[in-house]
Structure 1
Amino acid sequence: MTTKTGTYRPSASLIVAAKEDSLEDYDYRLLLIKRTEGTSYALNHCVFPGGVFDPIEDQSAKWITFFKSVGVTDEQLKMCNHSHDSPRPEFLSSGDHFSRDIALRLTALRETFEEVGILICTEQCDIQKWDSKSDHPRTLLLEPSERSEWQYRVHNDASQFLELFRHHKVIPNIWSLQEWSIWRTAATANRRYDTVYYITMLDEHTTNIKLLLEPHAWLLPTG
Protein backbone atom coordinates (compact mmCIF):
# COMPACT_ATOMS: atom_id res chain seq x y z
CA MET A 1 0.00 0.00 0.00
CA THR A 2 1.46 3.36 -1.00
CA THR A 3 1.34 6.32 1.37
CA LYS A 4 1.58 10.02 0.66
CA THR A 5 4.70 11.71 1.93
CA GLY A 6 4.13 13.26 5.34
CA THR A 7 1.01 11.26 6.20
CA TYR A 8 0.63 9.09 9.29
CA ARG A 9 -0.40 5.46 8.87
CA PRO A 10 -2.74 3.91 11.48
CA SER A 11 -1.20 0.98 13.34
CA ALA A 12 -1.68 -1.11 16.48
CA SER A 13 0.62 -2.85 18.95
CA LEU A 14 -0.11 -5.35 21.69
CA ILE A 15 1.51 -5.49 25.12
CA VAL A 16 1.27 -9.17 26.09
CA ALA A 17 1.56 -9.94 29.80
CA ALA A 18 1.86 -13.49 31.13
CA LYS A 19 2.26 -15.09 34.54
CA GLU A 20 5.70 -15.55 36.04
CA ASP A 21 6.79 -16.94 39.40
CA SER A 22 9.18 -14.38 40.79
CA LEU A 23 10.64 -13.07 44.03
CA GLU A 24 10.33 -9.57 42.60
CA ASP A 25 7.42 -7.18 43.15
CA TYR A 26 5.65 -8.43 40.02
CA ASP A 27 4.08 -11.81 39.24
CA TYR A 28 3.99 -11.27 35.48
CA ARG A 29 6.30 -10.43 32.60
CA LEU A 30 5.89 -8.53 29.34
CA LEU A 31 6.76 -9.86 25.89
CA LEU A 32 9.31 -7.96 23.81
CA ILE A 33 10.61 -9.00 20.40
CA LYS A 34 13.64 -7.85 18.45
CA ARG A 35 13.19 -6.57 14.92
CA THR A 36 15.40 -8.58 12.57
CA GLU A 37 17.24 -7.80 9.36
CA GLY A 38 14.14 -8.63 7.32
CA THR A 39 11.97 -5.91 8.85
CA SER A 40 11.41 -2.52 7.28
CA TYR A 41 11.02 -0.47 10.46
CA ALA A 42 12.78 -0.23 13.84
CA LEU A 43 15.58 -2.56 12.72
CA ASN A 44 17.34 -4.25 15.69
CA HIS A 45 15.05 -2.50 18.17
CA CYS A 46 13.16 -4.34 20.91
CA VAL A 47 9.44 -3.67 20.52
CA PHE A 48 5.99 -4.97 21.36
CA PRO A 49 4.34 -7.05 18.60
CA GLY A 50 2.38 -4.90 16.19
CA GLY A 51 2.09 -3.42 12.75
CA VAL A 52 0.15 -1.42 10.21
CA PHE A 53 -3.64 -1.37 9.90
CA ASP A 54 -4.98 -2.96 6.71
CA PRO A 55 -7.81 -0.67 5.51
CA ILE A 56 -9.42 -3.42 3.45
CA GLU A 57 -9.19 -6.59 5.53
CA ASP A 58 -9.12 -5.26 9.12
CA GLN A 59 -12.44 -3.48 8.61
CA SER A 60 -14.04 -5.85 6.12
CA ALA A 61 -17.79 -6.43 6.46
CA LYS A 62 -16.92 -10.16 6.42
CA TRP A 63 -15.86 -9.82 10.06
CA ILE A 64 -19.35 -8.69 11.07
CA THR A 65 -20.87 -11.59 9.16
CA PHE A 66 -18.48 -13.96 10.94
CA PHE A 67 -19.12 -12.53 14.42
CA LYS A 68 -22.88 -12.83 13.97
CA SER A 69 -22.56 -16.38 12.61
CA VAL A 70 -20.92 -17.47 15.89
CA GLY A 71 -23.46 -15.75 18.12
CA VAL A 72 -21.73 -12.45 18.94
CA THR A 73 -24.39 -9.77 19.51
CA ASP A 74 -24.35 -6.10 18.54
CA GLU A 75 -24.24 -5.20 22.23
CA GLN A 76 -21.15 -7.34 22.76
CA LEU A 77 -19.41 -5.69 19.82
CA LYS A 78 -20.28 -2.25 21.20
CA MET A 79 -18.40 -3.13 24.39
CA CYS A 80 -15.16 -2.52 22.45
CA ASN A 81 -16.16 1.04 21.62
CA HIS A 82 -14.37 3.82 23.48
CA SER A 83 -16.76 5.13 26.14
CA HIS A 84 -15.02 8.29 27.37
CA ASP A 85 -16.16 11.78 26.42
CA SER A 86 -12.67 13.05 25.55
CA PRO A 87 -11.97 13.73 21.85
CA ARG A 88 -10.53 10.85 19.84
CA PRO A 89 -7.73 11.07 17.26
CA GLU A 90 -9.08 10.97 13.72
CA PHE A 91 -7.57 7.55 12.98
CA LEU A 92 -9.59 6.08 15.87
CA SER A 93 -12.85 7.93 15.29
CA SER A 94 -13.50 6.78 11.72
CA GLY A 95 -14.42 3.31 10.48
CA ASP A 96 -16.22 1.38 7.76
CA HIS A 97 -18.83 -1.29 8.66
CA PHE A 98 -17.81 -1.13 12.35
CA SER A 99 -15.77 1.05 14.69
CA ARG A 100 -12.01 1.46 14.48
CA ASP A 101 -11.91 0.32 18.11
CA ILE A 102 -12.76 -3.14 16.77
CA ALA A 103 -10.74 -2.94 13.55
CA LEU A 104 -7.49 -1.92 15.27
CA ARG A 105 -7.89 -4.68 17.84
CA LEU A 106 -8.02 -7.08 14.90
CA THR A 107 -4.86 -5.43 13.56
CA ALA A 108 -3.08 -5.98 16.88
CA LEU A 109 -4.15 -9.64 17.07
CA ARG A 110 -3.22 -10.29 13.44
CA GLU A 111 0.22 -8.74 13.76
CA THR A 112 0.86 -10.61 17.01
CA PHE A 113 0.07 -13.89 15.28
CA GLU A 114 2.25 -12.96 12.31
CA GLU A 115 5.21 -12.09 14.50
CA VAL A 116 5.14 -14.61 17.35
CA GLY A 117 2.66 -17.30 16.26
CA ILE A 118 0.09 -17.15 19.07
CA LEU A 119 -3.62 -16.74 18.44
CA ILE A 120 -5.47 -14.93 21.22
CA CYS A 121 -9.04 -16.11 20.89
CA THR A 122 -12.15 -17.44 22.61
CA GLU A 123 -14.77 -20.07 21.82
CA GLN A 124 -18.44 -19.83 20.98
CA CYS A 125 -19.43 -21.55 24.24
CA ASP A 126 -17.50 -18.91 26.21
CA ILE A 127 -19.26 -16.12 24.32
CA GLN A 128 -22.60 -17.70 25.24
CA LYS A 129 -21.63 -17.99 28.95
CA TRP A 130 -20.14 -14.49 29.12
CA ASP A 131 -22.02 -12.01 31.32
CA SER A 132 -21.53 -8.44 32.50
CA LYS A 133 -19.68 -9.58 35.63
CA SER A 134 -16.57 -10.21 33.55
CA ASP A 135 -14.75 -7.70 31.35
CA HIS A 136 -14.27 -10.26 28.61
CA PRO A 137 -14.95 -13.91 27.76
CA ARG A 138 -12.39 -16.55 28.70
CA THR A 139 -9.20 -16.27 26.67
CA LEU A 140 -7.93 -19.29 24.78
CA LEU A 141 -4.31 -19.17 23.65
CA LEU A 142 -4.21 -21.27 20.52
CA GLU A 143 -0.99 -22.54 18.99
CA PRO A 144 -2.48 -23.97 15.79
CA SER A 145 -1.03 -26.90 13.92
CA GLU A 146 0.87 -25.87 10.82
CA ARG A 147 1.10 -22.40 12.31
CA SER A 148 4.29 -21.56 10.40
CA GLU A 149 2.30 -22.09 7.22
CA TRP A 150 -0.57 -19.99 8.59
CA GLN A 151 1.86 -17.23 9.58
CA TYR A 152 3.17 -17.18 6.02
CA ARG A 153 -0.35 -17.06 4.58
CA VAL A 154 -1.52 -14.28 6.90
CA HIS A 155 1.66 -12.27 6.33
CA ASN A 156 1.13 -12.35 2.57
CA ASP A 157 -2.65 -11.98 2.60
CA ALA A 158 -4.39 -10.35 5.58
CA SER A 159 -7.72 -11.89 4.54
CA GLN A 160 -6.32 -15.26 5.64
CA PHE A 161 -6.53 -14.14 9.26
CA LEU A 162 -10.32 -14.50 9.16
CA GLU A 163 -9.93 -17.86 7.41
CA LEU A 164 -7.65 -18.98 10.26
CA PHE A 165 -10.44 -18.40 12.79
CA ARG A 166 -12.98 -20.12 10.58
CA HIS A 167 -10.69 -23.11 10.11
CA HIS A 168 -10.12 -23.60 13.85
CA LYS A 169 -13.70 -22.64 14.82
CA VAL A 170 -12.60 -19.97 17.30
CA ILE A 171 -13.28 -16.24 17.70
CA PRO A 172 -10.76 -13.39 18.06
CA ASN A 173 -10.92 -12.23 21.67
CA ILE A 174 -11.05 -8.52 20.89
CA TRP A 175 -12.63 -7.91 24.32
CA SER A 176 -9.49 -9.06 26.15
CA LEU A 177 -7.51 -6.15 24.67
CA GLN A 178 -7.67 -2.99 26.77
CA GLU A 179 -6.61 0.32 25.29
CA TRP A 180 -3.40 1.43 26.99
CA SER A 181 -1.98 4.43 25.15
CA ILE A 182 -1.84 6.30 21.85
CA TRP A 183 1.48 7.28 20.32
CA ARG A 184 2.48 9.31 17.26
CA THR A 185 5.84 8.97 15.52
CA ALA A 186 8.04 12.07 15.62
CA ALA A 187 7.46 14.39 12.66
CA THR A 188 11.13 14.06 11.69
CA ALA A 189 10.88 10.27 11.18
CA ASN A 190 11.07 8.83 7.67
CA ARG A 191 8.06 6.62 8.37
CA ARG A 192 5.24 8.01 10.45
CA TYR A 193 2.60 6.11 12.37
CA ASP A 194 -0.36 6.79 14.61
CA THR A 195 -0.27 3.80 16.95
CA VAL A 196 -2.76 2.59 19.52
CA TYR A 197 -1.29 0.31 22.18
CA TYR A 198 -3.44 -2.40 23.73
CA ILE A 199 -2.61 -4.65 26.67
CA THR A 200 -3.82 -8.18 27.37
CA MET A 201 -3.16 -10.48 30.32
CA LEU A 202 -2.78 -14.20 29.60
CA ASP A 203 -3.61 -16.89 32.15
CA GLU A 204 -0.72 -19.02 30.93
CA HIS A 205 2.72 -19.09 32.52
CA THR A 206 5.51 -17.72 30.34
CA THR A 207 7.26 -21.11 30.28
CA ASN A 208 4.15 -22.71 28.73
CA ILE A 209 3.85 -20.25 25.85
CA LYS A 210 5.62 -21.51 22.75
CA LEU A 211 6.52 -18.63 20.46
CA LEU A 212 7.59 -18.98 16.85
CA LEU A 213 10.15 -16.21 16.99
CA GLU A 214 13.73 -15.67 18.01
CA PRO A 215 14.95 -13.54 19.61
CA HIS A 216 12.31 -12.61 22.17
CA ALA A 217 12.26 -11.97 25.89
CA TRP A 218 9.79 -11.95 28.77
CA LEU A 219 10.81 -8.97 30.89
CA LEU A 220 9.74 -7.63 34.26
CA PRO A 221 7.87 -4.30 33.99
CA THR A 222 10.83 -2.58 35.64
CA GLY A 223 13.11 -3.77 32.81
Structure 2
Amino acid sequence: MNSASSKNDFRLLVGKRSRKSLFMASAYVFPGGTLEAGDFSSRWWSVFETSRIYKADLLSKLGNINGPRPPMITDPITVKKAKIDGSFLPPDIALRIAAIRETFEETGLFLTFNRKSISSQTPTSDLDQTDVDLTAWREKVRQDPIAFVDLCLETNCCPDVWSLYEWWNWLTPTSLGPKRFDTMFYVYCLERQPKVILDNSEITNSKWCTPTEILEEHVQNKVFLAPPQVYELSRIKNLTSFSSVKDFAEKRQKHGIERWLSVQANCKDGSLILLPGDDLYPKIPELIGSKPIPDFPQTLSEMREKAVKINRIESRGAISIAISNVTSCGHLIPVTYTQL
Protein backbone atom coordinates (compact mmCIF):
# COMPACT_ATOMS: atom_id res chain seq x y z
CA MET A 1 0.00 0.00 0.00
CA ASN A 2 1.21 3.51 -0.85
CA SER A 3 1.97 5.65 2.21
CA ALA A 4 4.25 8.37 3.54
CA SER A 5 7.29 7.49 5.66
CA SER A 6 10.80 8.81 6.14
CA LYS A 7 12.35 5.48 5.14
CA ASN A 8 9.72 3.70 3.03
CA ASP A 9 6.81 5.35 1.27
CA PHE A 10 4.74 2.17 1.42
CA ARG A 11 3.22 0.06 4.17
CA LEU A 12 2.63 -3.67 4.54
CA LEU A 13 -0.33 -5.42 6.14
CA VAL A 14 0.56 -7.78 8.98
CA GLY A 15 -1.70 -9.62 11.39
CA LYS A 16 -1.16 -11.11 14.83
CA ARG A 17 -1.97 -14.79 15.13
CA SER A 18 -4.17 -15.87 17.99
CA ARG A 19 -2.35 -16.81 21.18
CA LYS A 20 -4.38 -20.04 21.01
CA SER A 21 -2.87 -21.00 17.65
CA LEU A 22 -1.08 -24.33 17.60
CA PHE A 23 1.62 -22.94 15.30
CA MET A 24 3.47 -19.63 15.75
CA ALA A 25 1.04 -18.36 18.39
CA SER A 26 1.03 -14.54 18.79
CA ALA A 27 3.42 -14.08 15.85
CA TYR A 28 2.87 -11.27 13.36
CA VAL A 29 2.44 -12.77 9.91
CA PHE A 30 1.28 -11.83 6.44
CA PRO A 31 -2.31 -12.73 5.45
CA GLY A 32 -2.69 -16.24 4.09
CA GLY A 33 -3.45 -19.81 5.01
CA THR A 34 -3.94 -23.37 3.86
CA LEU A 35 -4.32 -24.52 0.27
CA GLU A 36 -7.55 -26.48 -0.27
CA ALA A 37 -8.71 -28.86 -2.99
CA GLY A 38 -11.39 -26.34 -3.99
CA ASP A 39 -8.69 -23.90 -5.01
CA PHE A 40 -7.85 -26.30 -7.86
CA SER A 41 -11.48 -26.76 -8.97
CA SER A 42 -12.13 -26.63 -12.70
CA ARG A 43 -15.17 -24.47 -11.87
CA TRP A 44 -12.77 -21.53 -11.64
CA TRP A 45 -12.40 -21.56 -15.42
CA SER A 46 -16.06 -20.44 -15.59
CA VAL A 47 -15.33 -17.58 -13.19
CA PHE A 48 -12.51 -16.33 -15.40
CA GLU A 49 -14.52 -16.75 -18.59
CA THR A 50 -17.37 -14.71 -17.08
CA SER A 51 -14.87 -11.85 -16.82
CA ARG A 52 -13.67 -12.57 -20.38
CA ILE A 53 -10.36 -13.92 -19.17
CA TYR A 54 -9.63 -17.04 -21.16
CA LYS A 55 -7.55 -20.07 -20.30
CA ALA A 56 -4.81 -19.60 -22.89
CA ASP A 57 -4.26 -15.95 -21.96
CA LEU A 58 -4.21 -16.75 -18.25
CA LEU A 59 -1.72 -19.58 -18.64
CA SER A 60 0.49 -17.43 -20.84
CA LYS A 61 0.48 -14.56 -18.35
CA LEU A 62 1.26 -16.61 -15.24
CA GLY A 63 3.43 -19.26 -16.86
CA ASN A 64 6.04 -16.92 -18.34
CA ILE A 65 8.75 -17.89 -15.84
CA ASN A 66 12.21 -18.98 -16.97
CA GLY A 67 13.80 -19.78 -13.61
CA PRO A 68 13.50 -22.56 -11.02
CA ARG A 69 10.08 -23.90 -10.03
CA PRO A 70 9.60 -25.39 -6.54
CA PRO A 71 7.91 -28.75 -5.84
CA MET A 72 4.67 -27.08 -4.71
CA ILE A 73 4.32 -25.92 -8.33
CA THR A 74 5.72 -28.92 -10.20
CA ASP A 75 4.28 -31.68 -7.97
CA PRO A 76 1.57 -30.32 -5.62
CA ILE A 77 0.72 -32.62 -2.71
CA THR A 78 -2.85 -31.27 -2.47
CA VAL A 79 -3.67 -32.64 -5.93
CA LYS A 80 -2.34 -36.09 -5.01
CA LYS A 81 -4.15 -36.29 -1.68
CA ALA A 82 -7.49 -35.11 -3.06
CA LYS A 83 -7.18 -37.27 -6.19
CA ILE A 84 -8.31 -34.32 -8.30
CA ASP A 85 -9.10 -35.11 -11.94
CA GLY A 86 -7.05 -33.88 -14.87
CA SER A 87 -9.08 -30.72 -15.43
CA PHE A 88 -7.83 -29.05 -12.25
CA LEU A 89 -6.27 -25.60 -12.28
CA PRO A 90 -2.49 -25.35 -12.61
CA PRO A 91 -0.79 -24.74 -9.24
CA ASP A 92 0.38 -21.29 -10.40
CA ILE A 93 -3.28 -20.23 -10.42
CA ALA A 94 -4.62 -22.37 -7.56
CA LEU A 95 -2.02 -21.08 -5.09
CA ARG A 96 -2.95 -17.50 -5.91
CA ILE A 97 -6.65 -18.26 -5.47
CA ALA A 98 -5.86 -19.80 -2.08
CA ALA A 99 -3.96 -16.66 -1.06
CA ILE A 100 -6.87 -14.43 -2.11
CA ARG A 101 -9.45 -16.67 -0.42
CA GLU A 102 -7.54 -16.86 2.85
CA THR A 103 -6.97 -13.09 2.82
CA PHE A 104 -10.74 -12.67 2.44
CA GLU A 105 -11.43 -15.04 5.34
CA GLU A 106 -8.91 -13.39 7.68
CA THR A 107 -9.21 -9.71 6.79
CA GLY A 108 -12.42 -9.24 4.82
CA LEU A 109 -10.47 -7.94 1.81
CA PHE A 110 -11.96 -9.18 -1.44
CA LEU A 111 -9.02 -8.96 -3.85
CA THR A 112 -11.06 -9.25 -7.02
CA PHE A 113 -12.37 -7.15 -9.86
CA ASN A 114 -15.49 -7.21 -11.99
CA ARG A 115 -15.85 -6.34 -15.65
CA LYS A 116 -16.82 -2.75 -14.81
CA SER A 117 -13.63 -2.21 -12.79
CA ILE A 118 -11.16 -4.49 -14.54
CA SER A 119 -8.44 -1.84 -14.42
CA SER A 120 -9.05 -1.01 -10.75
CA GLN A 121 -6.90 -2.29 -7.91
CA THR A 122 -9.22 -1.25 -5.10
CA PRO A 123 -10.44 -4.34 -3.24
CA THR A 124 -13.82 -4.62 -1.61
CA SER A 125 -14.16 -5.11 2.14
CA ASP A 126 -17.25 -6.32 3.97
CA LEU A 127 -18.01 -2.77 5.18
CA ASP A 128 -18.22 -1.34 1.69
CA GLN A 129 -21.49 -0.60 -0.02
CA THR A 130 -22.26 -3.77 -1.94
CA ASP A 131 -25.36 -5.67 -2.94
CA VAL A 132 -23.95 -8.82 -1.35
CA ASP A 133 -23.56 -9.62 2.34
CA LEU A 134 -19.83 -10.33 2.36
CA THR A 135 -19.87 -10.92 6.12
CA ALA A 136 -22.17 -13.90 5.65
CA TRP A 137 -20.10 -15.09 2.71
CA ARG A 138 -16.94 -15.05 4.80
CA GLU A 139 -18.50 -17.57 7.15
CA LYS A 140 -19.68 -19.73 4.24
CA VAL A 141 -16.19 -19.74 2.75
CA ARG A 142 -14.64 -20.64 6.11
CA GLN A 143 -16.97 -23.61 6.37
CA ASP A 144 -16.45 -24.72 2.77
CA PRO A 145 -13.65 -23.20 0.64
CA ILE A 146 -15.40 -24.12 -2.63
CA ALA A 147 -18.04 -21.53 -1.68
CA PHE A 148 -15.52 -18.92 -2.80
CA VAL A 149 -16.30 -19.96 -6.38
CA ASP A 150 -20.01 -19.37 -5.74
CA LEU A 151 -19.29 -15.94 -4.24
CA CYS A 152 -17.31 -14.86 -7.29
CA LEU A 153 -20.00 -16.11 -9.68
CA GLU A 154 -22.78 -14.35 -7.74
CA THR A 155 -20.91 -11.04 -7.65
CA ASN A 156 -19.51 -11.31 -11.19
CA CYS A 157 -16.08 -10.86 -9.65
CA CYS A 158 -12.83 -12.53 -10.57
CA PRO A 159 -9.83 -13.21 -8.28
CA ASP A 160 -7.04 -10.82 -9.23
CA VAL A 161 -4.50 -13.62 -9.61
CA TRP A 162 -2.17 -11.84 -12.04
CA SER A 163 -1.51 -9.02 -9.56
CA LEU A 164 0.00 -11.47 -7.07
CA TYR A 165 3.73 -11.67 -7.77
CA GLU A 166 5.75 -14.64 -6.59
CA TRP A 167 8.25 -13.58 -3.94
CA TRP A 168 9.73 -16.73 -2.31
CA ASN A 169 8.99 -20.23 -1.00
CA TRP A 170 9.77 -21.41 2.56
CA LEU A 171 9.45 -24.92 4.01
CA THR A 172 9.19 -25.27 7.78
CA PRO A 173 12.34 -27.00 9.12
CA THR A 174 12.20 -30.42 10.73
CA SER A 175 13.52 -28.98 14.01
CA LEU A 176 10.17 -27.24 14.65
CA GLY A 177 8.29 -30.50 15.04
CA PRO A 178 5.65 -32.41 13.08
CA LYS A 179 3.47 -29.42 12.07
CA ARG A 180 5.14 -28.04 8.96
CA PHE A 181 4.14 -25.76 6.10
CA ASP A 182 5.36 -25.35 2.53
CA THR A 183 4.59 -21.66 2.06
CA MET A 184 4.55 -19.43 -1.00
CA PHE A 185 5.01 -15.71 -0.38
CA TYR A 186 3.36 -13.28 -2.82
CA VAL A 187 3.40 -9.49 -3.15
CA TYR A 188 0.15 -7.66 -3.95
CA CYS A 189 0.27 -3.87 -4.39
CA LEU A 190 -2.61 -1.51 -3.58
CA GLU A 191 -2.78 2.19 -4.34
CA ARG A 192 -4.99 2.90 -1.31
CA GLN A 193 -5.24 1.45 2.18
CA PRO A 194 -8.42 -0.66 2.36
CA LYS A 195 -10.56 -1.43 5.38
CA VAL A 196 -9.58 -4.53 7.32
CA ILE A 197 -12.22 -6.48 9.22
CA LEU A 198 -10.55 -9.23 11.23
CA ASP A 199 -12.07 -12.65 11.78
CA ASN A 200 -10.86 -12.59 15.43
CA SER A 201 -10.27 -16.29 15.14
CA GLU A 202 -7.00 -16.92 13.32
CA ILE A 203 -5.96 -13.24 13.36
CA THR A 204 -6.74 -11.06 16.40
CA ASN A 205 -4.97 -7.81 15.53
CA SER A 206 -3.64 -6.14 12.40
CA LYS A 207 -1.69 -3.08 11.38
CA TRP A 208 -0.18 -1.34 8.39
CA CYS A 209 3.51 -0.61 8.88
CA THR A 210 6.72 -0.03 6.98
CA PRO A 211 9.35 -2.80 6.92
CA THR A 212 11.59 -0.61 9.08
CA GLU A 213 8.87 -0.03 11.69
CA ILE A 214 7.99 -3.70 12.18
CA LEU A 215 11.64 -4.82 12.19
CA GLU A 216 12.50 -2.19 14.80
CA GLU A 217 9.59 -3.35 16.96
CA HIS A 218 10.83 -6.90 16.59
CA VAL A 219 14.41 -6.23 17.73
CA GLN A 220 12.98 -4.24 20.65
CA ASN A 221 11.01 -7.38 21.57
CA LYS A 222 7.67 -5.61 21.13
CA VAL A 223 6.41 -7.99 18.44
CA PHE A 224 7.34 -11.54 17.51
CA LEU A 225 8.24 -12.32 13.91
CA ALA A 226 9.08 -15.78 12.62
CA PRO A 227 12.45 -16.07 10.82
CA PRO A 228 10.96 -16.16 7.27
CA GLN A 229 9.09 -12.91 7.95
CA VAL A 230 12.28 -11.31 9.30
CA TYR A 231 14.21 -12.34 6.18
CA GLU A 232 11.58 -11.20 3.68
CA LEU A 233 10.93 -7.91 5.47
CA SER A 234 14.69 -7.32 5.44
CA ARG A 235 14.68 -7.98 1.70
CA ILE A 236 11.82 -5.66 0.84
CA LYS A 237 13.38 -3.00 3.09
CA ASN A 238 15.79 -2.35 0.17
CA LEU A 239 12.92 -0.86 -1.82
CA THR A 240 12.08 2.62 -0.58
CA SER A 241 9.17 3.52 -2.86
CA PHE A 242 5.81 1.96 -3.62
CA SER A 243 6.50 2.07 -7.35
CA SER A 244 9.85 0.30 -6.93
CA VAL A 245 8.21 -2.54 -4.98
CA LYS A 246 5.68 -3.19 -7.71
CA ASP A 247 8.22 -2.80 -10.51
CA PHE A 248 10.77 -5.08 -8.86
CA ALA A 249 8.26 -7.78 -7.89
CA GLU A 250 6.76 -7.90 -11.36
CA LYS A 251 10.10 -8.05 -13.19
CA ARG A 252 11.84 -10.40 -10.76
CA GLN A 253 9.04 -12.98 -10.96
CA LYS A 254 10.20 -14.26 -14.36
CA HIS A 255 13.46 -15.48 -12.74
CA GLY A 256 11.55 -18.07 -10.71
CA ILE A 257 11.96 -19.02 -7.06
CA GLU A 258 13.60 -21.69 -4.95
CA ARG A 259 12.17 -23.56 -1.99
CA TRP A 260 14.25 -22.85 1.09
CA LEU A 261 14.47 -25.29 3.97
CA SER A 262 16.35 -23.77 6.87
CA VAL A 263 18.71 -25.83 9.03
CA GLN A 264 19.24 -24.91 12.66
CA ALA A 265 22.48 -24.97 14.69
CA ASN A 266 23.14 -23.87 18.26
CA CYS A 267 25.90 -21.43 19.20
CA LYS A 268 27.29 -20.16 22.48
CA ASP A 269 24.99 -17.12 22.62
CA GLY A 270 22.10 -18.03 20.33
CA SER A 271 21.09 -20.10 17.34
CA LEU A 272 21.91 -20.07 13.64
CA ILE A 273 19.23 -20.60 11.03
CA LEU A 274 21.22 -21.61 7.97
CA LEU A 275 19.90 -21.11 4.45
CA PRO A 276 20.98 -22.34 0.99
CA GLY A 277 24.19 -20.70 -0.20
CA ASP A 278 25.69 -20.38 3.28
CA ASP A 279 29.10 -22.01 3.89
CA LEU A 280 27.61 -24.16 6.67
CA TYR A 281 24.47 -25.23 4.82
CA PRO A 282 24.50 -29.02 4.20
CA LYS A 283 24.92 -30.27 0.64
CA ILE A 284 21.83 -32.45 1.07
CA PRO A 285 19.50 -31.10 3.78
CA GLU A 286 17.25 -33.54 5.58
CA LEU A 287 13.69 -33.02 4.33
CA ILE A 288 12.18 -35.52 6.73
CA GLY A 289 13.90 -36.77 9.85
CA SER A 290 15.09 -35.99 13.31
CA LYS A 291 18.84 -35.51 13.23
CA PRO A 292 20.11 -33.79 16.38
CA ILE A 293 20.76 -30.05 16.12
CA PRO A 294 24.53 -29.45 15.95
CA ASP A 295 26.22 -27.38 18.67
CA PHE A 296 29.08 -24.95 18.05
CA PRO A 297 31.18 -23.59 20.93
CA GLN A 298 31.64 -20.22 19.19
CA THR A 299 29.42 -17.15 19.45
CA LEU A 300 27.23 -16.00 16.58
CA SER A 301 29.68 -13.19 15.79
CA GLU A 302 32.64 -15.58 15.77
CA MET A 303 30.81 -17.93 13.41
CA ARG A 304 30.00 -15.02 11.11
CA GLU A 305 33.63 -13.83 11.02
CA LYS A 306 34.80 -17.28 9.89
CA ALA A 307 32.35 -17.50 6.98
CA VAL A 308 32.90 -16.38 3.39
CA LYS A 309 29.47 -17.05 1.92
CA ILE A 310 26.79 -16.05 4.38
CA ASN A 311 23.05 -16.65 4.15
CA ARG A 312 21.60 -17.05 7.61
CA ILE A 313 19.37 -15.73 10.33
CA GLU A 314 20.91 -15.17 13.75
CA SER A 315 18.55 -15.60 16.69
CA ARG A 316 18.97 -14.61 20.29
CA GLY A 317 15.89 -15.70 22.16
CA ALA A 318 12.81 -14.49 20.28
CA ILE A 319 14.75 -11.86 18.31
CA SER A 320 16.20 -12.61 14.87
CA ILE A 321 18.19 -10.69 12.27
CA ALA A 322 18.89 -11.68 8.67
CA ILE A 323 22.47 -11.63 7.37
CA SER A 324 23.45 -12.49 3.80
CA ASN A 325 25.93 -11.73 1.04
CA VAL A 326 24.54 -14.17 -1.53
CA THR A 327 21.42 -14.17 -3.66
CA SER A 328 19.66 -16.14 -6.39
CA CYS A 329 16.81 -15.80 -8.89
CA GLY A 330 17.43 -12.08 -9.29
CA HIS A 331 16.40 -11.41 -5.71
CA LEU A 332 17.44 -8.84 -3.12
CA ILE A 333 20.04 -9.30 -0.39
CA PRO A 334 18.39 -8.59 2.98
CA VAL A 335 19.28 -5.42 4.85
CA THR A 336 20.66 -6.46 8.25
CA TYR A 337 19.08 -4.63 11.19
CA THR A 338 22.34 -2.88 12.08
CA GLN A 339 22.19 -1.25 8.63
CA LEU A 340 18.67 0.15 9.09
Where do residues 121-132 of structure 1 align in structure 2 (5 Å cutoff)? 121-127=112-118
Where do residues 184-195 of structure 1 align in structure 2 (5 Å cutoff)? 184-189=171-176, 190-195=178-183
Structure 2 vs 1, CA of residues 59 and 73 (structure 1 numbering), >3 Å: closer, same or farther?
A: same
TM-score of the pair, normalised by structure 2? 0.53
Alignment partner of 1:30 out of 3, 8, 12: 12
SS in structure 2 of the partner of residue 41 of structure 1: coil
The residue type paired with residue 196 of structure 2 is: L
User: Paired residue for 1:220?
Assistant: 210
User: Paired residue for 2:59?
Assistant: 78
**1:27 Cα deviation from its structure 2 partner:** 1.5
SS in structure 2 of the partner of residue 61 of structure 1: coil
Provide, for residues 1-47 of structure 1, a one-character-per-residue CA deviation record: whole Å limited to 9, x for no partner: xxxxxxxxxxxxxxxxx12233x132110011001145342211100
Q: Percent identity?
A: 30
Alignment length, in residue pairs?
192
Flag the structure with larger Rg. Answer: 2
SS in structure 2 of the partner of residue 119 of structure 1: coil
CA distance in 2, matches of 1:125, 1:75: 22
Specify every segment of 5 or more residues in structure 2 that has no aligned partner in the other structure, as ranges. Answer: 77-85, 127-131, 199-203, 215-340
CA distance in 2, matches of 1:120, 1:76: 20
Provide, for residues 182-208 of structure 1, a one-character-per-residue CA deviation record: whole Å limited to 9, x for no partner: 11111122311111110011111x3xx
SS in structure 2 of the partner of residue 46 of structure 1: strand
Is the 8 Å Cα contact of residues 80 and 174 (structure 1) preserved in structure 2? no
**1:80 Cα deviation from its structure 2 partner:** 4.5
SS in structure 2 of the partner of residue 180 of structure 1: strand
The residue type paired with residue 152 of structure 1 is: E
User: Paired residue for 2:96?
Assistant: 105
Specify every segment of 5 or more residues in structure 1 that has no aligned partner in the other structure, as ranges. Answer: 1-17, 128-136
Structure 2 vs 1, CA of residues 68 and 181 (structure 1 numbering), >3 Å: closer, same or farther?
A: same
Is the 8 Å Cα contact of residues 31 and 48 (structure 1) preserved in structure 2? yes
Is the 8 Å Cα contact of residues 45 and 55 (structure 2) preserved in structure 1? no
The residue type paired with residue 200 of structure 1 is: Y
The residue type paired with residue 184 of structure 2 is: V
**1:93 Cα deviation from its structure 2 partner:** 1.4
Q: Relative contact order: is structure 1 or structure 2 higher (C-alpha 8 Å, sep ≥ 6)?
A: 1
Where do residues 66-215 of structure 1 align in structure 2 (5 Å cutoff)? 66-94=47-75, 96=86, 97-127=88-118, 137-144=119-126, 146-189=133-176, 190-204=178-192, 206=193, 209-213=194-198, 214-215=204-205
Q: CA RMSD in A?
A: 1.9
The residue type paired with residue 19 of structure 1 is: N
Moved over 6 A (4+): none
Of Structure 1 and Structure 2, the greater helix share is in 2
User: Paired residue for 1:21?
Assistant: 4
User: Paired residue for 1:134?
Assistant: none
The residue type paired with residue 49 of structure 1 is: P
